[in-house]
Amino acid sequence: MNIGNPAKPYFLDVDTGSDLTWLQCDAPCRSCNKVPHPLYRPTANRLVPCANALCTALHSGQGSNNKCPSPKQCDYQIKYTDSASSQGVLINDSFSLPMRSSNIRPGLTFGCGYDQQVGKNGAVQAAIDGMLGLGRGSVSLVSQLKQQGITKNVVGHCLSTNGGGFLFFGDDVVPSSRVTWVPMAQRTSGNYYSPGSGTLYFDRRSLGVKPMEVVFDSGSTYTYFTAQPYQAVVSALKGGLSKSLKQVSDPTLPLCWKGQKAFKSVFDVKNEFKSMFLSFASAKNAAMEIPPENYLIVTKNGNVCLGILDGTAAKLSFNVIGDITMQDQMVIYDNEKSQLGWARGACTRSAKSILSSFP
């Protein structure tokens, strides 16, 4: 995204599992990772004061850890489930956003992060300059666009198995048909996008596990199941594999197999595996198909690995549908109507092919 005046480019991780957008920031930086672009440099007149409504909302959503040492600025500290964190101050600056007829440059509030910790390794080379928070809270970028009357509070993404894809704000490209819609469930903990409880099927047979609480989170690369469904999936997979696949150790992921020769892509091996389905009771005929290419990856060693991980190790009490499972489908988070939707189709970059793929 292009941010600031003059606008400068920054790579952001598209995260529907958190609210706050932030950039690594030269304020000066206490602990920053090596990032693709020069650090964002704030000016004092861009500081968001402590009394600002978005500061209050952010602090109330994050418990009592966040306080303002000075009324002139809004300090924040945010922690993620993978132990990463960002600490900084809120800033308001221009975002360049392409709309259908022209570019607009609204002033939006985001975090200027001067202290980032990524897991246990300290400073690392990062592929991104920061996070794009698209969650349900009022500080989320899509909520701010709605508040300013720029777009409806709808966000969607389409991630291609070939890399690339697209992200949209507002409901302009939401297809009029072929979308499976379910009401958003109100979760007791965390403000996540959840379609509610789903029953898991493997090759159209129930796996016999109780309905799973599910959230959609584009900030998670892989999909995470809690202990019972994870073990059931692993057992079903192992029980259905042909003799040509042998389990093998691969540093990429915990459960991998090798074939008689190295695989180049998931499509070389998908016929050896079966589709899974998540069926949601909250809407009629609402099921998400999870074909093999939406739960497997091929590693640089030519092995095929399971991209569904055991959430117990990550201390998750719910099941996370991550990017791997959302590939090649448009996923729509509609906060106007409190519903989630998905439609399978090619996620290529051009607007023409977007609309022709999703009639």
pLDDT digits (tens, 9 = 90+) for 75-100: 999 888 777 889 999 999 999 998 77
Contact 207, 232 (CB under 8 A): yes
Written as six digits, the tokens of 346 are 């090619």
Give the CATH fold of the 180-356 domain. Cathepsin D, subunit A; domain 1 (2.40.70)
State how far the Cα of 92 lies from the Cα of 111, in Å rounded to an integer: 9
Q: Read off the amino acid at residue 347.
A: C
Q: What tens digit of pLDDT does each residue of 2-35 get? A: 999 999 999 999 999 999 999 999 989 888 889 9
Q: What's domain 2-151's superfamily in CATH? A: Acid Proteases (2.40.70.10)
Read off the pLDDT band of 65 (50, 70, 90).
Answer: low
Contact 175, 280 (CB under 8 A): no
15 included as an active-site residue: yes
pLDDT at 8: 96
19 included as an active-site residue: no
Contact 88, 120 (CB under 8 A): no
- Domain extents for the chain? 2-151, 180-356
Is it true that 2-151 and 180-356 share their CATH fold? yes
Contact 225, 235 (CB under 8 A): no
Catalytic residue among 75, 217, 250, 334: 217
Distance of alpha carbon 108 from the chain centroid = 21
